């Protein structure tokens, strides 16, 4: 797909969901430890390519398994350190990881589809302009969060959702990265 009209440069921000985008989902469970974290096919190369096109690359991830007591903040930090090390070693860049440990029922402002995590990112990186942002995800809450901040929304996967929630759809992060920019 040709996306050259976006004119991506260092004024753009790429928001990435984690589970199902960067790493494989654990069906019916959570990534509770490093050994369960498996990158999606060609995700490292995709992040390397995409992060070179934009100013900031930010991971935003709901992690209600912490709220359920299934794993700790420390275990999640180890998973994220593992992820970041592999991304860096592959020549990519993730500038920050924000997560919401809250239960879905709490409807906490940090939890997607709410916009707390992008606002945290904007507070840390004050040049983030949501109108020049891309949200890449594989769940409706990812697309809703993207719409809520006015970002371009990229839907990943083969599940069917109403097309008004996204601007472009791809099978994977690697397919999106292989678009013509």
Which residues carry out catalysis? 17, 19
Tokens 């921000």 identify what position? 13
d(CA 37, CA 20): 11
SS3 content of the chain, % helix, strand, coil (to 5): 40, 20, 45
Is the CB of residue 55 less than 8 Å from the CB of residue 12? yes
Please tell me whether the peptide bond between 113 and the residue prior to it is cis, using omega within 30 degrees of 0: yes
Name residues whose C-beta falls within 8 Å of residue 163's C-beta, 6 or more positions apart in sequence: 169
- CA distances to 82, 153, 163 from 130, in Å: 28, 11, 21
């Amino acid at each position: 797909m040709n996306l050259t009209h976006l004119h991506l440069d260092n004024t753009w921000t790429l928001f990435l969901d984690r589970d199902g985008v960067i790493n494989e989902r654990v069906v019916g469970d959570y990534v509770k430890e490093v050994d369960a974290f498996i990158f999606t096919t060609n995700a490292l190369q995709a992040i390397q390519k995409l992060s070179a096109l934009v100013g900031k690359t930010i991971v935003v991830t709901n992690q209600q398994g912490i709220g359920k007591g299934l794993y700790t903040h420390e275990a999640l930090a180890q998973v994220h350190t593992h992820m970041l090390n592999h991304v860096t070693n592959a020549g990519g860049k993730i500038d920050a990881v924000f997560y919401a440990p809250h239960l879905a029922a709490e409807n906490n402002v940090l939890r997607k589809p709410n916009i707390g995590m992008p606002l945290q990112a904007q507070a840390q990186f004050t040049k983030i302009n949501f109108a020049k942002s891309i949200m890449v995800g594989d769940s409706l809450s990812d697309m809703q969060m993207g719409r809520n901040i006015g970002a371009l929304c990229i839907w990943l996967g083969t599940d069917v959702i109403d097309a008004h929630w996204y601007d472009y759809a791809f099978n994977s992060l690697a397919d999106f990265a292989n678009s013509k920019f």
